[in-house]
Amino acid sequence: MIHSVAVHAVRVSRASAILVSAAVLLSACTSDSVGEVGIADEVNTLESASTTTTVATTTTVPPIFLGVSPNLDLIANECFADLPTPTSVVTTEPDEGAEPDADNQPTLDTEPTVPDTLPVTTIIPAPPMLALVDCNGSNLGQVFATFCVGQKPEATPGQLTAIVCPGDPDLEYPSDRSLRRTAARICVQRFEETFKQPYSLSTRVGQEFVPTEGVWNRGDRRVVCHSIEPPPPTTTTERLAE
Which residue did the predictor score with more confidence, 38 or 118? Answer: 118
Instruction: Check pLDDT > 80 for residue 79.
Output: yes
* pLDDT per residue as tens digits for the range 104-144: 555 555 555 656 665 666 677 888 999 999 999 999 999 99
The conformation of residue 236, written as its DSSP 8-state character, comes to E
Which residue did the predictor score with more confidence, 153 or 32? Answer: 153
* pLDDT per residue as tens digits for the range 160-195: 999 999 999 999 999 999 999 999 999 999 999 999
Which residue did the predictor score with more confidence, 148 or 44? Answer: 148
**pTM of the entire predicted model:** 0.60
Total count of residues recorded for the chain: 242
> What are the beta bridge partners of residue 224?
146, 209
Average pLDDT over residues 92-99: 60
pLDDT at residue 3, rounded to an integer: 45
Q: Is 155 helix (H, G, I), strand (E, B) or coil?
A: coil
Backbone φ/ψ region at 81: left (φ over 0), alpha (ψ -120 to 50), beta: beta
Question: Which residue in 153, 179, 150, 184 sits closest to 165, CA to CA?
Answer: 150
pLDDT at residue 112, rounded to an integer: 55
pLDDT at residue 218, rounded to an integer: 92
How far apart CA 214 and CA 180 sit, in angstroms, is 15
How far apart CA 162 and CA 123 sit, in angstroms, is 29
Mean pLDDT, the chain, rounded, equals 74
